[in-house]
Amino acid sequence: MKRFFSALLCAAALTGTLAVPAAGAASTDTTLRVGLTVGGASSFATPMLENVSGESTGYTVGTVSGTTFKSAASLASSQLTIRLNDKNAFEVCDTETGKVLFTSAEGLEQLAIRPNSRLTWFKGYKWYGDFVYRRASNGNITVINYVNVEDYVKGVLPYEIDPDWPADAQKAQAVCTRSFALGTHKHTDSGYDLCNTTNCQVYLGATRATSESDAAVSATAG
């Protein structure tokens, strides 16, 4: 159904009948909470993060209230592994050495990590934004990407449309993607707004993005 609606929008764009009124604009500062399912898994025993080569290294660990991040500690490592220990606390470790760099308060419901790099590796994909780790019912950790709406759209567009489609079609898809994301929050009971599968929209970060797809997002921002 989403693809059918997208096709209608694309046809409208190509025929010049699509207009987006300024009154319908959305804030480009909006943060979305996206639950990450990667490789069929929606929770992980020891999720790992890695700064992207050539960008700033290190992370800030803290907590999040709503979508507001609060810092607790700065870490210099470029690769982190996050796990739950036997005292019911989150541990953040250096992936290479195994050294524990930070331990949360016992019983903390979720831990937030903000990378210093603009893009971060997680499960073989590059992502924008922050990462929040929430206890899952099976004792594992659910990973939630807290991402700006425009960066989110950049991570959906290459997976929901053929990258060879014309520029106006990509712009129409960007409008459709943004509208769906802002208007459909179906996973709030799980602690996030959207998932990253076909149940919502396929979102796998910046790995597959092109200059053309990013340009379509920028051209329709808000």
Q: How far apart are CA 86 and CA 63, in angstroms?
A: 21
Question: Average pLDDT per run of 10 along the chain, which is 222 residues long?
Answer: 49 45 68 97 96 97 96 98 96 98 96 98 98 91 98 96 90 97 93 96 96 96 93
Are 143 and 79 in contact by the 8 Å Cβ rule? The answer is no
What's the pLDDT at 24? 62
Residues contacting residue 165 through CB under 8 Å, at least 6 positions apart: 10, 173
* Predicted TM-score (pTM) above 0.85: yes
For residue 46, give the amino acid letter.
Answer: T
Q: How far apart are CA 222 and CA 69, in angstroms?
A: 23
What's the pLDDT at 173? 96
Q: How far apart are CA 217 and CA 178, in angstroms?
A: 9
Q: How far apart are CA 99 and CA 45, in angstroms?
A: 17
**Hey, which residues does 35 pair with through a beta bridge?**
144, 195
CA 89-124-203 angle, to 5 degrees, is 90
Q: How far apart are CA 45 and CA 84, in angstroms?
A: 8
* Token pair of 141 as six digits: 């950790």
Q: How far apart are CA 198 and CA 142, in angstroms?
A: 18
What's the pLDDT at 22? 41
**What are the structural domain ranges in the chain?**
33-147
* Token pair of 56 as six digits: 């700033």
What's the pLDDT at 137? 79
